[in-house]
Structure 1
Amino acid sequence: MDILILLSLCLLSWRGIQGQHDQSKVLLGHKVTLPCEVHRHGDSSAATLQWLYEKNGNHLILTTGTTIEDSDMKDRVSVNKNMGLVIKNVQMQDEKLFICQVKDQNDEVKESKVHVKVYQAPEGPEITMEENGIQITDEAVQIGICETKNGYPTPNITWYRNSTQLRNGKNDVVVSTLITVLSNGLIAVKSALSSPVSKSDVYSEFYCEVSYDLPKGNFMKESGKGNITVYYPNTEVQLMIKSQSEMIKEGDEVQLICKGDGNPQPQISLYRKDEDKVLAEDAPYIWKVSRKDSGGYICKALGLDIFNDMEAETELHVHFLDPPVLSEKSPVNAELGNILSIFCSVNSSAQTDIHWTRDGSIIANGSELSLSLQDYTDAGRYECVARVTSIPALTQSQELLVILKGKPQVSVSSQLIEVQDGEKLTVTCTAIGNPTPNISWYINGSEIDGQISQVTDNKVMSELTLLVMQEQVNERLICVAQNEFNSSTEYIQLQERPATTAVSSDDKETAPTDEPAAKTGSDSTKDPSIEPRSQKSYGVVIVAVIVCILLLAILGAVLYFLYKKGRIPCGRSGTKDITKPGEKDHIVVEMKPDSPAEESVLLPGAQDKKQPVDQEKYMDLRN
C-alpha cells in the first residue's frame, strides 16, 4: 500500500513538471523574443524544428525552420539565428502558449514552452459623486462611482474617505465592482461605493485609487476628490453682523446674515425690531449705515423640517462723531497783547480725544485753547481735531482763524552804524500791524522820504537811502510805524567813524566799541523831533593815560626792588685814594650821582656783578 501511494505521488510530480512552462511578460504593442530551449546552436542532427501555438485546444504550426506558415500572425513573426521566435507589435490575442518542437533523425521529439503574458496600464480613474443631496441615514446609500478603462490584466479599485481606506463589509460599507471586457480585449472596471451618511460627511472628501500590474511591478493612480451634499434638519437660526471693522461707524458697509444650522437652509425673513417692514428675504441685507440704523434686528426662519417658527435677534451699534463746535465763530478778531481762550465741544457716540493743531503739529491737548497774543505771528489758522478713542479712523476737525489787530511792531536793519560826512547810507525799516501801518523817517526833527514796499497784507517795509551830512553825524535816525491803534518807534544811531591814526597795538585793542543799540518798540509818546545827545570819542586819550600810569607803576616797583637788594647806594659817600704813594698833594674830586634815579638804571639779571656805572666815580685832576 505504501509503495502504491509513493508511485502515485511520483506520477503526479512528473505530470506537474511536464505541465510547467516559462512565461514572457510584454507590454501591449511592444516586441518580444521567445527562446527555443530544446534547440542547441550548431546541432546538425536535428531533422526538423517547428514553432507551434495553442488555439482552441489545438496546436497549430506557426513556423517550420525559418519558414513562416500562413496565419494571422504571419506579418508580425520571424525566427532569429538562434531559432528564437520574434513577435513584433504584440496584440491582446498574442497572449497564448507557444511551443518550440525539435524532432531528430530518430524521430525523438523534444519541446520547450513559453506563455506570453500581455500587460497594459489602465487610464486614470474618474470619480462621480452623487449629485443630489443625501439625507443623513444609518443605512448604506450610494455615494459615488469610480471607473477606470483599457487596462490589462484586471486592475483593482480601492475607496477612501479623508485618507482612510473604506473596506467592503466594514462599518456597513458596501463596495460593488463591475468588470467589463471591451471590444479591444482590454478591461474596464467600475466600482460603486455605498455607506451610511452622517452630519460630519458635510466636510468629508472621497476619492478612489486604481492599482495594476506591469512587467516591472505594481503601480497605482488616484482620482480627484469629491464631496457630497448632506441634508439634515435645522434646530436653530443665528443672526450675524458682518463688517470690515469690529467697531462700526457711519458710512461703513454692513451685512446682516441670517443662517440656520441645518441643510437646506430654511426660508428666512429680516425685520427691523418694532417694525413690520421686511428688509430682506433669503439673502443677506447689505447697506451703508448711519446712526439712525442703530437698534435691534430680527430674523425669522421657516422650513419644511421645522415644526415651529424660529427667531434670532441682534443689536447694531453705529458709532458717529459730529464736526466740533467752537465757542467763538471763526474768524475771531483779537487785539495784540490780549489772551484769547477758545473752547471746542463735540457730539459723539463714544469717548473722544480732543487736541489743537497748527501747521500739522499738536500745540495743545484738551478742549480749551488759550493763546497769549504777544506777537503778530500768533495770528493765523488753528484746528480743533476730535477723534473717537476706540475708532481712530473716526475723526472730525474744525478750523479757527485768528485775526490780530493792534499797534505796529517795528524793526530796523541795524541799530548802530558808523558813518562819515558825505557817505551814502541805505537802511530799511519793517513794520507789522493790523490795520497795515504807515512808515515815516525822521532825523534832526525833519521827515525824510523812504521807498515803501508791501511784503504781505499786514507787513510793510521802507528802504531809505541817505547822503550823510556833518550835522547828521552822531545823531539818531528815527523810524516811526503808525496805524489807527497806535505808533511804534525804532532808532538807528549814526556814530562818527574815527579818523585813521597811527596808534599802538595796545591802543587799538583797548579802543572803545560802539555804544549799545537803542531798545526797540518804544512808546509812541517819544517825540521824533527830540535831538539826541552829542557823542564824543575820547577813547584814544583814555588809553594813553592808562598806559602811562601802568609804566610809572612798573618803574616804581623796579626801583623799590633794587633798593631792597642794595643795588642802589642811596645816602652813602666815600672816598678812595687813587693816587700813587707820594702824591698826597694832588687834588681829588669825588663824583656822585645827582639823583637816585640815575643810580637805579639797571638791567635785570645784572645784580651779581656791579657795572662801572654802579661804582663811585673819581676824576683825576692832576693833569
Structure 2
Amino acid sequence: MLLVWMLGFLMLIFSACARCPLTLTPSEMVVRFGDPVSINCSTSATDVEGMGWETPFGGTGFEPPPVVTWRVEKLEEWTPSPFCYATLVDGSQCTVSPVITVYKTPDFVSVSDMGHGPMVEGREYDLKCDVINVTPVQNLTVTWFRGNKTVLTQTFNESTAIPINTSSTMRFSPQRDYSGLTFRCEAELHLGPKGPKFLSNITSPPYTAVVLYKPFIKACPDHVTVIESAAFSIDMLPCQPDGNPFPTVQWFYEDKLINPSKSLTRTDSGKYTAVVENSLGRSNTSVHITVEYSPSFTCKEHYEITVNDKQQSICEPVGLPTPTLTWFKDGKQMASPQRWKKNDSGKYLLNAHNTHGTAEHTLYLEILYAPEFKEENDSKEVLQGEDVTLSCSADGNPPSNIRWIYTAAVNSNVTTEGKQKTISITKATSTNAGVYICVAENKVGKKTRFVTLMIKGNTSKILFPIIWALLTLLIIGLTLLMVYFHNWQKKRGQYNFVPVCQMSQISI
C-alpha cells in the first residue's frame, strides 16, 4: 500500500503542471490533532473513468465519479498527505492534494525568573515564558503583560510540523513600583482565515515580582504648622517610609535622637529630620515644624519705669502668631505711647490676642524721673546783722535726697521739713557770704542749684565820718574862695568883709 501511495505521489509531481479535472472541498483546512476530518473530491468531467483517495496508510479504493470522500474519525498524524486521483478513459491519471495544517495548543504556559529570586532596582533581569508542546510554532505569538499593560509581543521563525517546547524571554530593569506587580504571558496560535474563529489563548499563572530598593520617605511636607494644645507628635505626620526590605525610621531634632510619640510644645519648633535605612542604603528628609500657641503673660505686677523709656520694653506677651497687645487704663483703651511721661503712673490692664486665644494681665507702673528744682539759680543780698533763710526743694520720683554744700558757720543751721531743706543764718556776717550749693539726688539722676549770698556793711557807723570829712573839705574850699575873692577886690579898691564866725554858723 505504501508503494502505491508513493507511485501516486510521484504521479502528482509529474502532473502538477497538467490540468486535472478534480475539485477538493475544502482544498485547504486547519484541523486540531485528534479531531475528525472529511474532504470531498469531485469532478464534472465526462472522460473520468474512476477516482479515489490514497494515503500512506491506505485509501478509499477505486470508485466511479463524480464524488469520492476521504474521512478520518480521529486525525492523529502531524503531517497528513492524502491525495485524490482520477483515471481518465484514455488510461491517463491525475491527482490533487489538499493543504492540511494540523495544530495543537500548548499543554501549559509558565513564567519564571530563572532562579534569580528577588530583583534589585536598577539592575537588568530576564523573565522566561515557557510554552510546552505546541505546533505549528511559526503561527505562535507570545504576549507579555505587566499588570494589565502589554509590554512585549514576540513571534517565532521555526517551521515545524510536530509539537515542540519553546520559550520567550523578556529583559527589563525593574523599578520600585514593580514590586508586588504580576507578570504573565499568553500564548496564541494565529491560524489564518481557515483556522478556528475563536481559539482560546493559553495564559500562564501570574508571577509576582519582588523588587528590592533603597528606602525613602514619601508624602512628607516641607513645613507643618501645629497647635500646642492639640498634643501633636512627630508620628502624626503624613510621612510614609518606603523601601524593600522595609526600612527602620529614626527622627532627629538638632542632631539628637528623639521620641516621635512625644507631644511637641512651644519650645519644640524647628527642623526635624527623618532617617530611613535598610540593607540597600539610607536616605533622609526634613520637615520644619512651627508650634503655635495662645497668648500668655510672664510679667510682674509692678514695674518701675524711667521717664521717656519706650513702652515696648515693659511687658510683652508670648504667643505664636505674635499677639496683638492692647493697653487699657481706667477701663478705657489707650493709644500706646512712644515714651512714658511722669504723670503716666497708675494701674493698667493689658489684653493680648491671637488666632488661638486671649490673655489679660494687670500691672502697676511707677514712673521714675530725676529731681526737678522749682526755683532757678539765685543771688541774694542782705545787710550785715540780718537773719537769712535759704530754702531748697525738688520734685522727683523716687523722692529726692536734698543736701546743702556750703561753708559752715556758728550762726548757721540746717533743718528739714517735708521735701524742703532750709539753711537758717542768724545775724549774718561777712563770713556767711559765698555760694551755697543745693544738691538733689535720687536713683534716676542728680541736679544742683546755686544761691549766691552777699552781705552788706552797717551804714550808721560809717556815715558820720564821711559827712564830717565832706564838711571839712567844704569849709576849706570856701575859705580859699573868700581869700581869692578878697585879693581880687583889693586890687580894684573895693573890699567887703564877712566875719568868720558868721560863716561858721551858716555852714553848720
Same fold (TM over 0.5): no
Q: Which gives a bigger RCO, structure 1 or 2 (Cα 8 Å, sep 6+)?
A: 2
TM-score computed with the length of structure 1 as normaliser? 0.34
